[in-house]
Amino acid sequence: MADHDPTCNPMQSLLLQESEETPKNEQPSSMQTGSVQDDYKNFDIVRATQYGVFPRVRELVEAGFDVNQMDKENVSLLHWAAINNRIDIVKYFIAKGAVVDRLGGDLNSTPLHWATRQGHLNMVVLLIAYGADPSVRDGEGYSCIHLAAQFGHTAIVAYLIAKGQDVDLPDKTGMTAVMWAAYRVFGYDPVRLLLTFGASVNKADKFHGNTALHWACQTGNHVCVKMLLDAGADLNILNSKGQSALDVAISAQNMELAKRLRLVRYEQGLDIKHPLQSFTTNKKVRKYVGYIFPFLALFAIGWIPEMGASLTFKLLLAVPSVFIWRVCVSLFFDESMNHVMPVAVYLATKFWMYFTWVFYLMQYVESRSANVIFILNTMLLTYNFFRAWHTDPGFLKSNREDKVKTILELAESQTLTLTQFCSTCLIRRPMRSKHCAICNRCVAKFDHHCPWIDNCVGAHNHKYFLGYLFFLMGMIGWCLYGCSLYLQHNCTLDIYEDGITGVVYKIFKSSPWVGWIGLNALGHMIWVTALFCCQIYQVSWLGMTTNERLNAARYFYQQRLMGGDGYDHSHGHGGHSHDGEDDHSKHKPPKITSPFHRGVVKNLVDVLDLRCCGLCRPSAIDWTSAYSLDQESKGRVRQIFNANRENYQMV
């Protein structure tokens, strides 16, 4: 691959990092002191362009310097301005007649190529607006979309595709952007974005015959391998050496990746291991097994000891039960079961708790009102569970036309960042939203993905989730209450005389089934109560979602300087103050607060959407389209999007 890797022939440049941002049309801060400040008027035009000294550039051009003149390295002034992100100087050069698509440098590339390599989205947008052609290939045969994919500049990839670039455009060797990203970028993006735009996963390059999956396997890029497999990559395609993706992983001695590929081949029926494979790998069959298994397992564990048979007979039943369990786990259980099992366990536990209540416990509850309350609690629990399970939590929707329009608007307004743009759904993210990796959708006012309801908790079903937890505690509490009444009538328990082990022995001797159900109820009560209290604390006391609380550092609208004006003005300045003092000595760490906090009672009213015939007024914010804070909150928190990076490319 070395003969085709662009990193083997880099432009001869040195990246100099400046500690402070440079205001437009002014020299860098490092030039404001000492001899450099005295000498900037003696800069030649190349150096003045690199440092962004606009007055000196204008002085030299007005004196007659040709803006299209190439320097000794065959590089134009527009190249130097583009790679250093000098917006005003680029505009000035183009106004003076600079050729936008001039080829130059060791790689024989255009200024647009240089800006793309550095990831300067605002410069890319500007040059294309002035007529730069992103499909032009440089000396190595790369167009801009290939360079953006190689260097992981997802926002630029999105913008180029939105401007009409072919997502499967090949370079001179036939490699597409998704191939380069799978080979070079060890992360979700830009591969995820390219796949969302419909990039082909089964195209092969002309030189090696590799698909994107081959390239990802060659470098051990596990993240991209998973995404490509999920997108339907063909595992049977052979490269020019006759190797499949599995063969490439084995030759790279990546046994973990080879194991994953063998498992996928088995699930797809490509490698036959046993005659029932087509049945055991069927997704519908696996789902049904996942739902049925907890019902049978909970029943077997409690009912076999409950039987009035001999111990020998019980053991004879237990042995095949364990064998069946092991066979089911080995044949049907995989990673997808992690999303099915929790809700299946809940349904099974709930079913057997109600079974126990009707056939074991209800006869000991003498109060008719208690049974009525139990039935009412059951109805409310069932209602809230099914609403939380099947209600759209606030999935964000958009068609392709809207997605392209959004990308163009965000890029041209310099706000196309992954904090505001979802590279999978290709939509602008409203505040408080997040992409759920399990549902593969963006969710408005995302709280978390709950395996116990097999759904996300978001803007539209959060109140049902809280109701589900509350009434589930009630159901479990009634079950524990019934178990205690049963034990009071069927055995005598004395913790002081029997001790803990003695009490446990008497409970399970009296009725192993009731003891087993009571133990399950106690275990569920612990996590349900903890989760409910945590939820109430977050939504009412903090005014936050679970996602915001766990990832507070990611969201600018939650960070305020303690005792400050709500924003750290040293952002983007490398941690140095303008007067040379350390900012850390003057500012305290940011305090995490929620700008949506309206008070404990109002927060709860908002989440539960309580109206009470107009007595309560919940917030009317539509979280599917809330992209900015209100004016009051804007005064407290601010953010700089896509701040310029002061990279000075020097020879």
> Catalytic positions, please?
450
Task: Give the residue from 149, 153, 188 showing the smallest Cα distance to 171.
Answer: 149
Helix (H) or strand (E) holding 647: strand 647-650
Give, in degrees to the nearest 5, the angle at Cα 21 between 553 and 184. 65
* Residue 568: C-alpha distances to residues 1, 64, 248, 274, 632 (Å): 45, 44, 49, 63, 18
Name the percent of the chain in helix, strand, coil, to the closest 5.
55, 5, 40
Strands (E), 336-475: 421-422, 427-428, 434-436, 441-443, 448-450, 455-457
| CB neighbour list of residue 264: distance below 8 Å, 6 or more residues apart | 229, 235
CB of 190 within 8 A of CB of 225? no
Burial (CB count within 10 angstroms: exposed 0-12, middle 13-18, buried 19+), residue 639: middle
Residue 194: phi, psi to the nearest 5? Answer: -65, -40
Name the region of 445 (left: φ>0; alpha: ψ -120 to 50; beta: rest): left
DSSP symbol at 644: P
* Torsion angle (degrees, nearest 10) of CA 496, 499, 504, 505: -110
| CA 408/CA 413 separation, integer angstroms | 8
Report the first-to-last Cα separation within the chain, whole angstroms: 28
For residue 647, list its beta bridge partners. Answer: 17
Burial (CB count within 10 angstroms: exposed 0-12, middle 13-18, buried 19+), residue 315: exposed
DSSP string for 128-197? HHTT--TT---TTS--HHHHHHHTT-HHHHHHHHHTT--TT---TTS--HHHHHHHH--SSTTHHHHHHT
CB of 580 within 8 A of CB of 597? no
| CA 443/CA 394 separation, integer angstroms | 5
For residue 17, list its beta bridge partners. Answer: 647
- Rg of the chain's alpha carbons, rounded to an integer? 32
DSSP symbol at 643: P
Tokens of 534: 């945590």
| CA 577/CA 19 separation, integer angstroms | 10
